[in-house]
Structure 1
Amino acid sequence: MELFYMIVFGSLAAIVAALELSKSSKDRINTSSVFNAFKNNYLLVYSLMMAGDWLQGPYVYYLYSTYGFGKGEIGQLFIAGFGSSMLFGTIVGSLADKQGRKRACVTYCITYILSCITKHSPQYKVLMLGRILGGISTSLLFSAFESWLVAEHNKRGFDQQWLSVTFSKAIFLGNGLIAIVSGLSGNLLVDTLGLGPVAPFDAAACTLAIGMAIIMSSWTENYGDPSENKDLLTQFKGATIAIAADEKIALLGAIQSLFEGSMYTFVFLWTPALSPNDEEIPHGFIFATFMLSSMLGSSFASRLLARSSPRVENYLQIVFLISAASLMLPFITNFLGLPSGHKGGSISVSGLLQLIGFCTFEACVGIFWPSIMKMRSQYIPEEARSTIMNFFRIPLNIFVCVVLYNVKAFPIAIMFGMCSIFLFVASLLQRRLMVISESQKPSKCSSCVGISFNDYLN
């Protein structure tokens, strides 16, 4: 079975390398040297930010367990993180639009560094505070940086299509290569050097501090709506009405919540799905394989985004259908009654089939991220970009909290089947979004959104 893991990893690595090396002029977008300098600066910062996040991920649960906490208490800590993101995410998003996106990015660094520091304490209340700070940080990571990028890109007058280059590269590096390197670095610190499970959090804090220094020294400030006479409540009202007034924005939010909700559920459930009887599986190697699959998807997405056809709205329908089929595998293998492994043994035949499906799903994740970023840059009004993006995360965080709270109430196969249904619904909503976008001219749509949003605020 060890040979199987190596074959899967090696095959994926070869495909990624082949895709990158075989890109033709049709698969690339010609850009200027000024833009390349801007893009590379952002990619460096984004990679450091993602490294700070990825270094922590594999060791959060393990650290809590070494402090003597049980599954119930650890589950409460995780719920606190997602609940914090849900409660405070929209507030910090609105503040980012009003007070400045660069300032919000610096705030992300500070709050996440403080969250890392709390990991040194075995006290439950201190760790709970760290989870709350981590939830706020997550909201900023997935809204403020993208909002700053889009606004700064437009302010500098770069071609709109060039955004696709930055998006695809950011996912290729941040959610692929950096994730793999961070996982290996964490393993080096904890296992090889024997520095303990808190060492990756210290490394993350240092990485975030370096990124913050680059932001403060090289980024300029930009705003959504800095008007002094518009308080947070007015911002919330304007963002809510903008979502309700434009079906495309509402559909985009629903699609994002359905896909990301399924993705986070997958993150929690892939380990017990592959080892239902405590089979011996190489968690770190499998994680690296998933990240390589994500790199494959983002590499493929860069080719799609470089061309005018097919449009993002079209091909994402297929991506969601493939994702739905991939996460249906645990349900199918359970229904067919395929043989499972035994405690301490190697992965079963059922697990091998699911692993292939999970790698396929991760490839779809790699395509999804730069594609949804591209659509958000087109459809979400600039005045409240961070606010609206965090509005989208409210149903996502509610969904994840419910899953965490009831993770023992339903069989794993049923949970994956539910995610598959959500992804199928996302495909249907994506088709609706495609129909609407094709029936309206982009320029007319953009103008209408901007006017209606400002009208509602004034």
Structure 2
Amino acid sequence: DSQWLSITFSKAIFLGNGLVAIVSGLFANLLADNLGFGPVAPFDAAACFLAIGMAIIMSSWSENYGDPSESKDLMSQFKVAAKAIASDEKIALLGAIQSLFEGSMYTFVFLWTPALSPNEEDIPHGFIFATFMLSSMLGSSIAARLLARKLKVEGYMQIVFTISAFTLFLPVVTNILVPTSSVKGGSISFGGTLQLLGFCTFEACVGIFWPSIMKMRSQYIPEEARSTIMNFFRIPLNLFVCVVLYNVNAFPITVMFGMCSIFLFMAAILQRRLMVVSDLHKSSTKAQEMVDEDEPLNP
């Protein structure tokens, strides 16, 4: 049932990603700043938790080999995915939307730290990360309410993508309008505070994005090829992130944020196109059903 899918997705983002990430951020801040173990301590702690998780999985999980009769080689799976994408514009649009948003989101992950501390300001990274995750939880809670009201996902996601584009364009605006200080160190600047508010808004949009995109996946992408199709779109996504990280020192950080903002505006435009195509498909399907019902009545 699509309604249960929406509720499950929202709770998974709220409890799984949000709550655990907030506790992790606060714990990382405790290790690095309060206890004075340094910036590497959170990574050491993460390795310990990963080892615990691996031990639990190895001792309690059984391997899921799937149905041997349906096993296909990698090339066959990608051929099926490519055929599905080429034959259905809705799948192509949805994949492009997700790639554009995720590409901007993953680029943001590497850019927010230098954006908030351009002059090596002393900022509480763990606490800020926890604040981001709290904003993401708020977004997933909003998404749950939107999906419960049965609002059209394709409609409100246009607004979400547009807001996201404006929030990641904020560093460009603050760099132009707010004078930057040449003093090294200190606390977060006024421009950094404005950007932090914008970044929290972006994370709230991320919280709305995940359950909403999962709902659209269940609507437009066939289940038997869903994972392969989404992996197909992750190929250019991963290439884009790698190119950005490789050239991160070649361009000013404002150029990177401006590029992410453009991608998010493109996602909003493609989301509008997806809604139009979906409505046309539903209208044509309904008209065809009416014709099929009337045919037996004709002499």
TM bucket, shorter chain:
0.7 to 0.9
Deviation at 1:193, TM superposition (A): 9.8
Residues 1:274 and 2:120 are matched in the alignment:
no
Task: Tell me the residue number matched to 2:293.
Answer: none
Residues 1:227 and 2:61 are matched in the alignment:
no
Q: Which runs of 4+ in 1 moved over 4 A?
A: 186-197, 211-215, 220-223, 442-445
**In the aligned structure 1, how far is the partner of 2:100 from the partner of 2:277?**
20
The higher radius of gyration belongs to: 2
Deviation at 1:204, TM superposition (A): 1.6
Task: Tell me the residue number matched to 2:171.
Answer: 330
The equivalent position to 2:53 in structure 1, one of 184, 188, 207, is: 207
Shift in alpha-carbon separation, 1:416–1:422, aligned structure 2, 3 A: same
Deviation at 1:371, TM superposition (A): 0.5
Task: Tell me the residue number matched to 1:369.
Answer: 210
Task: Tell me the residue number matched to 1:248.
Answer: 90
Deviation at 1:185, TM superposition (A): 3.8
Deviation at 1:163, TM superposition (A): 0.3
**In the aligned structure 2, how far is the partner of 1:382 from the partner of 1:323?**
29
**In the aligned structure 1, how far is the partner of 2:50 from the partner of 2:30?**
14
Task: Tell me the residue number matched to 1:358.
Answer: 199
Task: Tell me the residue number matched to 1:91.
Answer: none
Deviation at 1:293, TM superposition (A): 0.5
**In the aligned structure 2, how far is the partner of 1:268 from the partner of 1:301?**
26
The equivalent position to 1:407 in structure 2, one of 248, 263, 273, is: 248
**In the aligned structure 1, how far is the partner of 2:99 from the partner of 2:14?**
22
Identical residues among aligned pairs (%): 72
Deviation at 1:334, TM superposition (A): 1.2
RMSD: 2.5
**In the aligned structure 2, how far is the partner of 1:169 from the partner of 1:352?**
30
Residues 159-174 of structure 1 correspond to what in structure 2 (within 5 A)?
A: 159-174=1-16
TM-score, normalisation: structure 2: 0.87
The equivalent position to 2:44 in structure 1, one of 190, 193, 198, is: 198
Shift in alpha-carbon separation, 1:410–1:323, aligned structure 2, 3 A: same
Shift in alpha-carbon separation, 1:257–1:351, aligned structure 2, 3 A: same
- Number of aligned positions between the proteins: 282
Deviation at 1:190, TM superposition (A): 6.7
Contact 2:167 2:202 (8 Å CA) reproduced? yes
Contact 1:189 1:200 (8 Å CA) reproduced? no
Residues 355-394 of structure 1 deviation map (CA, whole Å, 9 limit, x = unaligned)? 1100000000000011011111111112222111111211
The equivalent position to 1:424 in structure 2, one of 252, 255, 265, is: 265
**In the aligned structure 1, how far is the partner of 2:124 from the partner of 2:82?**
45
Residues 25-66 of structure 1 deviation map (CA, whole Å, 9 limit, x = unaligned)? xxxxxxxxxxxxxxxxxxxxxxxxxxxxxxxxxxxxxxxxxx
TM-score, normalisation: structure 1: 0.58
Deviation at 1:312, TM superposition (A): 0.6
Shift in alpha-carbon separation, 1:208–1:172, aligned structure 2, 3 A: farther
Contact 1:190 1:200 (8 Å CA) reproduced? no
Residues 1:434 and 2:280 are matched in the alignment:
no
**In the aligned structure 1, how far is the partner of 2:253 from the partner of 2:103?**
15
Contact 1:171 1:298 (8 Å CA) reproduced? yes
The equivalent position to 2:22 in structure 1, one of 180, 193, 196, is: 180
Contact 1:340 1:351 (8 Å CA) reproduced? no
Deviation at 1:444, TM superposition (A): 5.8
Contact 2:25 2:127 (8 Å CA) reproduced? no
**In the aligned structure 1, how far is the partner of 2:161 from the partner of 2:254?**
19
**In the aligned structure 1, how far is the partner of 2:233 from the partner of 2:111?**
23
Q: Which is bigger in relative contact order (C-alpha 8 A, separation at least 6)?
A: 2
Deviation at 1:344, TM superposition (A): 1.5
Task: Tell me the residue number matched to 2:290.
Answer: none
List gaps (5 residues or longer) in structure 1.
Answer: 1-158, 446-458
List gaps (5 residues or longer) in structure 2.
Answer: 287-299
Residues 390-405 of structure 1 correspond to what in structure 2 (within 5 A)?
A: 390-405=231-246
